[in-house]
Structure 1
Amino acid sequence: MHRTEHVSGCGLVARGQSPAFRATGIASMLSAVWHLYRNRRQIARLHDLDDRQLLDMGLKREDLHEALTSASFENPGTYLTRASRNRASLFYRGVRHD
């Protein structure tokens, strides 16, 4: 039985694992970072839309700002999805939330 030592909380193992296993872990971390960067870049492009277009998607400018200022390791898309669904839920319950 091998004793493994974790390099950090990222789940990369220093000993006891093959180089291919470690390379796969590093590749998956880089992929996750790329996806977060891409999502933030796309959300930043939503600022080009006017307020009416954002409201059609169930969003407001404040939602975009909150998503972009969230922690860098969090996916801002989940925040926008939650905000849009909450606003739609209020709309269908008859609560006006402009």
Structure 2
Amino acid sequence: MRTTQHALDLDLVAGKQPLVSRTAGVVGVLTAIWRLFRNRYQIARLHDLDDRQLLDMGLRREDVHEALTSSFFDNPGSYLTRASRNRANLFFRGVRHD
């Protein structure tokens, strides 16, 4: 292809997005925000558990508090997953951090 043909192809791609594509983008963003709210609500319910129940999941009350006070756009569930896995790894190595 010649250079002029490449330029024409780029102009066609850079055009305005169709309404369906823009709507899908907006719905995707709203879905992600709803999921963040829902996850934070469910993690806040972990405060209702006692320390022994949290430790059964590999968590401490401080982990739940830190997850909830993280930035809004950070996923608190991934933080709790990492904390639980790290605690499990330490437990299986014989190191106790209760």
TM-score computed with the length of structure 2 as normaliser: 0.86
Rounded to whole Å, the distance in 1 between the matches of 2:92 and 2:13 is 56
Mind listing any 5+ residue stretches in structure 2 that lack a counterpart?
1-10
> 1:74 & 1:97 partners in 2: Cα distance?
25
Structure 1 segments, 4+ long, off by >6 Å, are none
Q: CA deviation at 1:3?
A: 7.8
Aligned partner of 2:55 in structure 1 is: 55
The structure carrying a bigger helix percent of its residues is: 2
TM-score where L is the length of structure 1: 0.86
By relative contact order (CA 8 Å, sep 6+), the higher-ranking structure is 2
TM superposition shift of 1:19: 1.1
Structure 1 position 35, deviation (Å): 0.4
- 2:87 is the counterpart of 1:90: no
**2:27 corresponds to which residue?**
27
Mapped partners of 2:82, 2:12: distance in 1: 44
Structure of larger gyration radius: 2
Partner AA of 2:81 in structure 1: T
Q: SS of the counterpart of 1:32?
A: helix
C-alpha RMSD of the superposition: 1.2
Size of the alignment, in residue pairs?
A: 88
Counterpart position of 1:9:
none
